Amino acid sequence: MSFIEDARWFSATPTAGPAGKPAAQGRVTLVGAGPGDPELLTLRAVKALRGASLVLYDHLVGREVLRYVADDADLIYVGKESSQHTLPQESIIDLMLRLARSGRSMVRLKGGDGFIFGRGGEEAQALAEAGIAFEVVPGITAAQGAGACAGIPLTHRDHAATLVFATGHLRGENEVALDWQALARPRQTVVIYMGMGTLPVICEQLVRHGLPAATPAALVEQASLPGQRCITGTLQDLPTLAEQHKVRPPALIVVGEVVALQPQLMRGMQGAVL
């Protein structure tokens, strides 16, 4: 594999076609890499990675996942971290379209599932508008990985009949634009992606809109990876716990009564491992 650090200089020259005919246009496979553990990749994702000659991959895709890429493939890093973008999204889409037209078999690889807060929908839309054939391989999203690995069932007949995913990104002047009233409903589990930077605001608003301050809540850091941590508490003390334990992204915020089951389930899971 060859890692290409600066995608701006990568050649996207179309593959030559038969004399008098236009070059063949490549096919793009949008692949979800799962929450991090390479064993949680789907068989279809592994097949796509092994068959690709070119892979555009994001920040949350681990090196262990990239081991499934063919030895002669080129890998281009186009990752985005908070306030640190190798390429802005518009440039990533432009690069993807140019490379797709070069005729190579390409995988666009994203952590988790590309259609859940991964901008996979925007990229699929761009491919469709450009007339470029593509397929989508779903991945286990981070919330599923966090729940399964940290011992938090996202739904439960006694505690949560509704499951909501939301993003905690800032919008405008330090504003988290969420439907707080909907998120603060009882008997549901709320999982918030990309919310560590706005954790105090999130907890404050959920309490202000009706959830008790004692509602169980958790932070799951590096879900499914060797460095995974799960910090449990309540909406009231979660921001303080995050500071005390120095929790850093990637981390998910999980809110709801199901979090209270975590100690019991983890005891059982650890016993099974032992």
User: Would you please indicate which residues are annotated as catalytic (active-site) residues?
Assistant: 58, 80
Structure tokens at 273: 């491992």
Q: Rounded to 5 degrees, what are φ and ψ at 193?
A: -85, 150
Tell me the two tokens of residue 91: 């440039």
What residues contact residue 75 under an 8 Å CB cut-off, 6+ apart? 1, 2, 3, 4, 54, 55, 57, 66, 69
- For 75, the token pair is 């890998």
Helix (H) or strand (E) holding 260: none
d(CA 175, CA 180): 12
CB 155 within 8 A of CB 258: yes
